[in-house]
Structure 1
Amino acid sequence: MRRFITYIYEYEQGNRGRNTGFIRTDLRENSCRMELQIRGFDRFKGKCPVYLTVYENGLQAIPVTELLLTQGMGSCSFTCENNRIGNSGFDVHQAQTLTIACGNGRFLTGCLSSTPVPEALRGEFLIFQEKEAVPPAAQAQTEPVIQTQSTTEPERFRQPQAMPEPEPVRQPQDIPEPESIRQPETTPQPETIQQPKTIPQPEAARQPQTSYQKVEIQDIRKLPKSNWNLCNNRFLLHGFFNYHYLMLKTLEMNGEKRQFLGIPGIYEQPERMMAMLFGFPEFEAAAAVSSDSKDMTGVFGYWMCPLNQD
C-alpha cells in the first residue's frame, strides 16, 4: 500500500495561481482511492465535474465524480477499482492530472505526473467518450453525432449554446445593450457592438497598477536590507509553514512604487490580534466580500505589512 499527498492549485490560461487544497491518494494493489479537500477558492458556489486526464492521441479527460463547492470549500472522494479509471480502460498510473472544471476558463489542478504535458495545465482537453457498438442500419444516422463529438475545441471553453433564433431577432437594433455602451446613432453599427473594448475608460488610466507575485522566505533577501528581519518573524514563519508561500504586492502610480508583504491565512479575531502583534495590521481578502457583511470571519486572504524601500 502507498499513500501520498498532492497539492491542488488554481490554473488560468496555463498560469499557476494560489494553492486551493490537496488530494490524498491511497494506492493499493487492486484499487485506488482519492480524497479531495478544497478551501479558500474565492466565494465560489456550484457543482463542478472532476476529471482524471490521460494523454493518448491528445489529452483526454475522463469524468470520475462531481464536487460541490459552497463558499469556495468542499470535499469528495472516489475509488478506481482494479486501478482502472472508470470504464475507459486506462490505468490510474497513466493519469497526468486531476482537474476540477469551475467554468469561465478557470479550473483547479493537481499534478499526478512529475512531468505533465503542457495541455494539462492549460485545460486543453477533450472529454473522453466511451465507444458503443452501433447497428449497421443506424450507422448513417449516428455519423453526424460522432463528428460533433470529435471537435477539437477545449472542453473548458465550451459554453451551453442556445437554439438558433430567427434572423430578425439577430438584427442589431433588437439586441439589448447596457445603457453604458449604447451609442446615439441613427444607423446600427454591428462592429461597435462586437468590439466593446473600444469604449474609452479615462478613469482607469489614473488608477494605480497593482500586481501580485508568490514568493518564498528566501526571496526576502532580494528586498532592501531593512526588510531582512522579517525572515525571523514568528507569525510569518507560521503562515509560510501552513501555505508554503508568501504574497508580494506591488503598487505603481506616477512612477512611484510601493510594496507590501502578505501572509496567507483565514480571518479570525485571535489571528487578527497575533497579526497586529507581529507587525501585520492589515487584512486583504483574496476575493470580493459582500458589502452586506461587516464580519470578515472565515474569509481567506492575506495579512499585509508595508515594506521599506531603502
Structure 2
Amino acid sequence: MADYKRLVSYIYAYPGGVRDKNVGFAKAEVRNGQFKLTVSVKGVYTDTPELFGVYVMVDGKKHQPGGFTLLKTGTVMVNQGIGQYQDLFNPMNINQSGYTFEDISGIALARENEDFYRMFSLWEDCILNTEDITFAQPEAAAASNPVVQADSEEVSVKEQVNRTTGQEAERKSAEMSGNVRESETVRRNAEDVSENEVEEAAVTSKPATPESAQSAGRQADLQQETAQMKAQQVRAMEAVQELLFRNTNPQGTMPQNTKLQHTTPQNAKPQEEMPAFEKVFINRDFIDAFEDDYFYDCVEVTPELLKQLPIEDDAVVNNSFLVHGYYNFKHILFGKVCENDNNTRYFIGVPGMYCNRERFMASMFGFCNFKKSHRSDYSNPYFGYWYQEI
C-alpha cells in the first residue's frame, strides 16, 4: 500500500471571484496504479440543467500568486442543484497530458465562456486569484510537455524508417521479376500512402490507449445525452409558450361566482362592473408567501390571465423573463399592496432564485426588486419573487 494516496477537500462557489458557500466535495484517490477522481456537488442552482467542465488545477508556480492552469478531465451535468462525477486516470500521465498526480493543486468546475458559475477545491489553504485562471485542453498540454513530445517524435521516426525499408524491398522484388512498370506504380502508390500516414503520425502526438478510448467513449455518450436533454427542454419550452400566447379564450380562465350573482341585492352593482383586477381573487386560495403583510391576498395566476387585465404597460406581462419563471415554477404570484406613497394597489411576482445572474435578467424586464419567500413548498433559502408594483 506504499502507493496509496487519498485527498478530500470541500468545493466552494466563487461568484464574481469571491469565495462563497460550500457546494460539495472532491475526492482524489490513488490505489493500485489508478487515479480515481470523484466530484459531488449540491446546491448549484441553475435555471435549467447545465453541463460543467471538470478540471484539475496545475502549473500554480508558473502564474502570479493564486493563478492556475485548468486541465479538463471530463464533464458533469448539474440538474436541480445536484451533480455527480467519477472517472479513472493514469496517475503518472493524466489524460495523456504529461502531468502527474503530484502536479495537481486542486479541482475546478467551470465553463470557459462564463465566469459566474465557477467552483474550486484546493488541496491546501492558499490564495486563489480567479482572474489569473487559464484553460488548457489535454492535447495542448501534451504538445507543450517535452517528455510527451519527445516520445511522439521517436515513434514517428521509427515508423518512417520501417515504412521506407518496406517500400525499398518491394521495389527491388518487382524489378527482379521483370515487372518494372507495375512495380513503379506500386511504389508511387506506396509513397502516397506513406506520406499521408506520416502526416497523420505527426499530428497525433501519442497513440490512443484503452484508458483514453474508454474516457472518450464516456464523454461522447454524455455529450449525446446532454444534447438530447437540451432538445427536450427546447421542445417543452416551445410548447408552453405556444399554449400561453395562442390560447386567447377567456372562458375557463376567469371563474365566475354564480352563488354571488343569485344573492346580490337589486340595489347592488352588477357583477360585470366589478374591477377586473378584483375578479382575479374570486374563488382562489390565498398563498402565505411573505413574513410581513405589505403584500397580501396573494394568489397564483398564469401569464395568460395577466394579459386579460387592463395593465397600462404591456411589457410587464409580455416578456420572456416572466414566461421563463412560469415555466420553471408553474405559477406567477399576483396580490395586493398596502397603502403607499406610490399609489400602487397590486403587484406581480415572478418566482426565482436570488443570484447576480438572475438579478441582471430580472432588471432588464422591469422586475428590479426581490422579496424572499418563506413558502413551505419551496424550502430553498434563495427562493423568492422578483416583483413589480402596478
Shorter-normalised TM-score: what interval?
A: 0.3 to 0.5
* TM-score normalised by L of structure 1: 0.41
Considering only CA atoms, is the larger Rg found in Structure 1 or Structure 2? Answer: 2
Q: Which is helix-richer, 1 or 2?
A: 2
- Structure with bigger strand share is 1
| TM-score, scaled to structure 2 | 0.34
Higher relative contact order (CA 8 A, sep 6+): 1
